[in-house]
Structure 1
Amino acid sequence: MENLSLTPAPRARRPRPKVVTLTDAAAARVREIMDKAEKPYAGLRVGVKNGGCAGQEYILEYAATADPLDEVVEDKGVTILVEPKAVLFLIGTVIDYETTRLASKFVFRNPNETDACGCGESVTITPAAADQDEA
């Protein structure tokens, strides 16, 4: 009789989705603004900060330089620089640009968002599981 050893198979890791992606409308608007800028930008910085009635707010700004710890995502011709502390809060987020009769704005569609205040300025975000961060 053979002696068979049962060794568990190595755990397969799922590929992590991009931290942030842009819709065509958002990418076009970012490129349009960057093309008109007086100075060149390294990319679009995205992050999360504490604030507002729901607890957190999104940060969206143009960055002159990339931080060495930024998560760099290239999408539709735009360089997105994700702040390191925001990665687990933003995994899977899609940024859109919407224009209505009353306003034009960037909109975050975040699968980790669990609540938002009535005015829409702040949100509650539950970080994604840490194992999604491993690629």
Structure 2
Amino acid sequence: MTPAEPITVSDSAARRIAAIVAKEGGETRALRVSVEGGGCSGFSYKYDLTGAGEPDDLVIEKDGATVLVDPMSLAYMEGAVIDFVDDLMGQSFQIRNPNAVASCGCGTSFSI
């Protein structure tokens, strides 16, 4: 079954992304989320603020926020939910990835 959206952005993540981009100003218009090799579990998520996407990026727009994901990263993240959590442990973006079979305690590293 293919999800309606390849990647979903939660309401709290959209609000936080929009606030960060507004504060940065200038050319910053979006949050790029990508997957890189490395990390303690094999792959890690990377977050970058950017001004423009690439022609083949997946563009997710929600409540004034824009998230960009490149096609290579999308292959590892399909069906994931990008969330922003603010709790006693702190504030962080978290990705709930149905493709990950294991992840480390830091929450930014995973294996498939």
Which bracket does the TM-score occupy, shorter chain normalised? 0.7 to 0.9
* CA deviation map 1:45-79 (0-9, x unaligned): 11100111210001122111111221222233322
What TM-score do the two structures reach when normalised by structure 1?
0.74
Aligned residues: 112
Residues 51-130 of structure 1 aligned to structure 2 (within 5 Å) = 51-125=38-112
The amino acid across from 1:97 in the alignment is F
* SS in structure 2 at match of 1:32: helix
Provide structure 2 residue ranges, at least 5 long, that are not aligned to the other structure.
none
The amino acid across from 1:99 in the alignment is D
Identity %: 36
RMSD (CA atoms):
1.8
Q: Distance in 2 between matches of 1:29 and 1:123?
A: 23
Q: Is 1:49 matched up with 2:16?
A: no
Provide structure 1 residue ranges, at least 5 long, that are not aligned to the other structure.
1-13, 126-135
Deviates more, 1:91-100 or 1:116-125: 116-125
Deviates more, 1:70-79 or 1:31-40: 70-79
What TM-score do the two structures reach when normalised by structure 2?
0.87
